[in-house]
Amino acid sequence: MIESVSRRAFSSTSGTYNVRASELARERKLNIFNVTVQFLDDTQHSFQIEKKAKGNVLLEQVFQHLELVEKDYFGLQFTENGSPPNATNTEITRWLDSGKSVKKQVGANAQFWLAVRFYPPEPSRLAEEFTRYLLCLQLRKLLLDGRMAAPKNTALLLASFTVQAELGDYNVSEHPPNYLSELCLLPKQSAEDERRIRELHKLHKGQAPADAEANFLEHAKRLDCYGVESHPAKDYNGKDIFIGVTSIGIVVFQNNIRVNTFSWSKIVKISFKKKQFFIQLKREPSETYDTVLGFNMRSGRAAKALWRCSVERHGFFRLRAPRRRPLLGALGALAGITAPTVPRTETQALEDARRSRSTNRSFVRRSSSRNRERSAGTASPGGAVATLNACARGARVTGHTEPAPRAAWCVAQPQPEEDDGGFLERALRVPLSYVDESDSGSEPAAEEAVCVRLAAGADGRFGFNVRGGGGGPVLVSRVAPRTRVQLQEGDQVISINGNDVDEMTHEQVVQLIRNTRGVLTLLVKPNAVYEPDETGPEEPAVCFVPLSSGEYDGDALEQSMLLLGDGLASGAALKQYETLLRRLPDEPSNVAKAPHNLNKNRYRDIAPYDSTRVILKNGPTGDYINASYINMEIPNSDLVLTYIATQGPLASTVGDFWQMVWESESSLVVMLTVLAERGRAKCHQYWPKLGAAPLKATSSLTVTTTSEENWGHYTRREMCLKDNNGASRVVTQLQYTAWPDHGVPDDSAAFIRFTQLCSELRNHRAVIPTVVLEPDPEEERLLDPPLIVHCSAGVGRTGALILAETAIELLSRRQPLYPLDLVRHMRTQRPMCIQNASQYKFVCESIQAAYAGGLPRAPAD
């Protein structure tokens, strides 16, 4: 009976009401937590998560919304006051913890900002163009609001790349004189800034948005504050400083100047207690105590934030895999604070990206004035090409057949000048590495080789550069965007078209690529240079350090030498050297490239800047000579080491050379080459032999060699330079003969002794007239006469000696020594100083040996 009633009740016009389902829906609605995320292009999106959801749930929704593949470099920021993180917001900016509840971290204010959390040391290693685009947006924000500083010239160059990416090629009809006024490119942007940006923008013709952004990142990564998350603090003397955390370690800034760097390999432990943050350094063999550095933070929360930031960056950049959090983390667990971990490390992220080699998806650059789709293959209005063409990135891509000027590093006959179309690649991009450059990367890890087949582009280029050879591994150093799917920076080339490259020189490798017609077949080990060292010990776990070690007043020189030693041991110093600009893009060399001066250059691609070139007053063939003034100031003293860096004289420029010696009032010439190497002329013999008749250098100058002594690794000659008016001067020439072709000396101690001899023979009594149109004797500068130094090109070995002498002077005065900064300063006065990594490494190792052996202190000024 009951069954019969039930069937009638739920038939025909019957209905149902699911009480439990409705209650569950109501509970779910009450349990929803709405959050807003602002992206790097200033757009916003709302997300819904459960109130008890952890941070990884929200992060995953954000990354899926953006279709972000390389998500490990990004995170979500929030502030307690809900204001955007910027230079004016004094609240501590925190990162969303993926392992904790979102609501408990952020409270009632559910506002987040997407930001770059871990800045890649080499942006070119990123596989996705969209990732590089987001990184560019982040850096532009930092530069605009003052959280990231850049020199004026660099800031203008970066702004010009931004304009190229957003507006495309410069077009007179579409871009009026004030077309940059509506764009916010620089803080405190002026009309003069816009004029200079416009001139740089004109030079970027043909660059697609992706290419301009790649160039933007290549220059931005060289800034001292790139990738630095700064935390205000005070040192033990109470001075205001900023502690920054980067991929290489912990850096200290004072007055926007980096004053110290502690690399991860030198740090044993990091800790905090209340308002103090501590760094414990590795004990050296000669030390009997632990070095603990303490810094005072604004609050205990600030100290903890810096500690967390340091731990996370150490884990991401230095470890091969994330640390597993122990069940009971000893001191950390007892104190209620455990060291944070990262979901994945950079090594794992790069391995995944390398394995996927996915094709880039299309996206719209929302900050641009015109919409572009990447890899669309069409030209946008204004002439901006959105396709990734063969010559899009990397200067002088190997495999080309176009005429090139005679290079200083290879055997070639003089060729016609390149047209202006190659100016941008020569001036604003990283050039091809030199032939005698030793490998700066670590040995490749054992991994299966893969076969890569490349077809030449319309211009005959294959879209990549190589470096190494001559017994060292051949590595891919630069890759154009169209080739990045098959090759990446750091891949090791095993064979080319079936030919093993183990015993080939760099010239042979390049020639083999250039001679390939059709398809180029490569056997490569992917990302060999970036593999971590499997044999080395892994970094120790972070934990607390005792506070009873006392204060440490520090030794800036010692810290700088420890940093240099660590950089040489890990290879980081040579990788940093590779990032230096070889030539300043905004320093012209118009005089050197004038038609009537071309035959005075031994190498056409090595030309002095117009602003620092030596100008002859009474030159036999004009006022031009391929020579540059280089001044190296010694901090905290009145000493300025002055040089004239010049090429080895040609037969046609001997008169110009001696006229320069006479006018500069120099009495010391240092020669760092022999006359011929491997059958090639490196320098013309510009002096007469001992006992021979005097050399008539010019119509008014004669040179006589009065003595010659051979000291094994160098030869010393005394010469008499006489003028027709009766004035004369004794000139000493030191010819260093122990520097082999395409190599470095075997004895660093002998090179240091030679450099010290050069310092002793400087004449400190002469006066160098100030270079002005109408010299006034009362305004002459009392400087040391310049030491004239040359090799063949006047940049490689010449720069090495200048670096060595400057370093020795700094060591003797107990001044901190940063060779990379010295090379950068040299290249602002003469391009390409210290040509290759092997020369840079040799000088640095020589400096280390000199420091270890002890140098006498310089007398007080």
* Active centre residues (catalytic): 791
Q: What are 163's two structure tokens?
A: 């304009």
- Of the candidates 802, 787, 788, 795, the residue with the CA atom closest to the CA atom of residue 830: 795
Answer for the pair 571, 490: CB distance below 8 angstroms, yes or no.
no
**Do residues 147 and 227 touch, judged by C-beta distance below 8 A?**
no
Judge contact between 255 and 239, C-beta under 8 A.
Answer: no
Q: How far is CA 754 from the centre of its chain?
A: 31
Query: How far is Cα 270 from Cα 339, in angstroms, rounded to an integer?
Result: 10
Decide the pairing of beta strands 32-38 and 111-116.
parallel
Largest CA distance in the chain: 141
DSSP code, position 439: P
Query: Can you read off the two tokens belonging to residue 677?
Result: 């190497």
Element (DSSP H or E) covering residue 47 = strand 44-50
Q: How far apart are CA 436 and CA 839, in angstroms?
A: 9
Angle formed at CA 417 by CA 413 and CA 423, multiple of 5 degrees: 130
Strand partners, 709: 716
CB atoms within 10 A of CB 132: 21
Amino acid at site 700: S
- For β-strands 668-671 and 787-790, DSSP reports them as parallel
CA distance 7 to 808: 103
Asked if 571 and 528 count as a contact pair (C-beta separation under 8 A), the reply is: no
Rounded Cα distance, 317 and 680, in Å = 46
Rounded CA-CA distance 221/200 in Å is 19
In the Cβ-directed half-sphere of 6, how many Cα atoms lie within 13 Å?
3
Residue 589: other Cβ atoms inside 10 A: 19
Apex 744 CA angle, 741 and 746, nearest 5:
115
Q: Tell me if 625 sits within 8 A of 800, measured CB to CB.
A: no
User: What's the CA gap between 606 and 808, in Å, rounded?
Assistant: 27
**Contact predicate 675/692, CB 8 Å:** no
> Helix or strand or coil: residue 231?
strand
Residue 324, helix vs strand vs coil = coil
CB 322 within 8 A of CB 344: yes
Question: Can you tell me which residue has the tokens 């632990």?
Answer: 290
